[in-house]
Amino acid sequence: MPHRLRVAQLFDPWRSPLCTCPIKYSLNPYTGCSIGCKYCYATAYIGEKDSSPKKRLLERLLRDMERMDPRLPINIGTSSDPYPPEEGLGLTRSVLELLVPRGRKILITTKGTLYASRDLDLISSGNVAVTPTITMLDELWSRRIEPRAPGPVERIHSLEKAARAGVPIGVRVDPVIPYINDDPAMLRELVARLADSGARMIITSTYKARPDNLARMRRLPEVGERVYRLYREKGVRVGGYTYLSRSLREELLRPVIEEARRLGLEYATCREGLTGPQWFRAGSCDGVHLIPSRIKARTLESWI
């Protein structure tokens, strides 16, 4: 197993006892994230700051590739969105230009839309799947909790464009947050819309609180104090996070899972500890099994 990698690391969800992700690499072209999601867990580790390009990223990635197992997938965007407003710099595209021709297996996780409007030439020709995050259809609440992300309709149009180009799409409907995007009818409508747009898989999870993101959530208009009290009064500690009770989490996620099942989509829950076919019917929990094999993987040496 490779060691001492510089920018690509073996994915470690901070030792979460409920994570079921297969072994993979994590790669974030940026440090920090300008999207500014109120519920973001990563700010507990890196703080609240805008996206900053990693210095000498491509040089360091080339060195990492000498040690990386080419059989393992690379998940781009595990803690910092790879398509923030700063991606006008083209940093994520440069990473794809490095990885795609070498046949590396890539999973892109993003709330952005440039993967479809600018990078579809690379993505549709490579071993790439995309798991965009779309938490709701409500444009107003989306702007409140994901202030610098494209709106949900724009994100849906992007996944539809990518799906038409043959890119496998699995959508993350997460987090489901009490009082904000937990209406069962609206969640079912969202899943149906995603299925119509070409999604093959739905990944879902509930909001997990940490002190910093719960403080941000508390400041939201209308419902923030209710969210705060619910987690403070009824939450339970699991792996460094405050979870709701299992019964409440099942109640929140059931509309998403049931609609995905009804429509014949693959589905999975993320870091919930919910097992069995009623909660998980997919080749992986994160969507890496969706990655196609269009290009034979090549080592750095064979490419050079």
**Cα–Cα distance measured from residue 22 to residue 89, given in angstroms and rounded to the nearest whole number:** 31
Q: What is the mean pLDDT of the chain?
A: 94
Q: Which pair of tokens denotes residue 59?
A: 């040089």
Six-digit token string for 230: 């619910």
Mean of pLDDT values over 242-251: 97
DSSP state letter for 102? G
Helix (H, G, I), strand (E, B) or coil at 161: helix
For the chain, how big is the Rg over CA atoms in Å? 18
Taking 60 as the threshold, does the pLDDT of residue 303 lie above it? no
pLDDT tens digits along 201-220: 999 999 999 999 999 999 99
Alpha-carbon span 217 to 253, nearest angstrom:
20
Which amino acid, residue 239?
G
- The verdict on residue 1 lying in a domain is no
Q: Are 267 and 202 in contact (CB under 8 A)?
A: yes
185 lies in some domain: yes
Residue 254 lies in a domain: yes
Q: What is the pLDDT of residues 96-109, one digit of tens each?
A: 999 999 999 999 99
Residue 20 pLDDT greater than 90, yes or no: no
Could you give the number of structural domains in the chain? Answer: 1
Strand 52-53 and strand 30-31: the pairing is antiparallel
Residue 2: predicted pLDDT: 41
Helix (H, G, I), strand (E, B) or coil at 48: coil
The predicted model gives 125-142 an average pLDDT of 98
Q: Inform me whether the pLDDT recorded for 66 exceeds 80.
A: yes
Burial tier of 303 (Cβ tally within 10 Å: 0-12, 13-18, 19+): exposed
Maximum distance among all alpha carbons in the chain?
59
Mean pLDDT of 116-136: 98
The pLDDT score that the predictor gives to residue 11 is: 86
Mean pLDDT of 50-66: 96
Torsion region of 176: left, alpha or beta (phi above 0 gives left; psi -120 to 50 gives alpha): beta
Q: Is 46 a member of any domain?
A: yes
More confident residue, 5 or 33: 33
Buried b (16+ CB within 10 A) or exposed e, 270-292: bbbbbeeeebbebebbbbbbbbe
pTM confidence score:
0.95
Has residue 167 been placed in a domain?
A: yes
The two structure tokens encoding residue 257: 């899972």
Q: Answer yes or no: is 304 within a domain.
A: no
Q: Residue 171 sits in which domain range? A: 8-293
CB 32 within 8 Å of CB 285: no
Residue 299 lies in a domain: no
272, 180, 172: which is closest to 230 by C-alpha?
180
In a domain, residue 269? The reply is: yes
Of the candidates 27, 30, 36, 25, the residue with the CA atom closest to the CA atom of residue 90: 30
Reference 176, options 168, 162, 186, 165; nearest CA is 186
CATH number reported for the structural domain that contains residue 51 in this entry: 3.20.20.70
Q: What is the pLDDT of residue 15?
A: 63
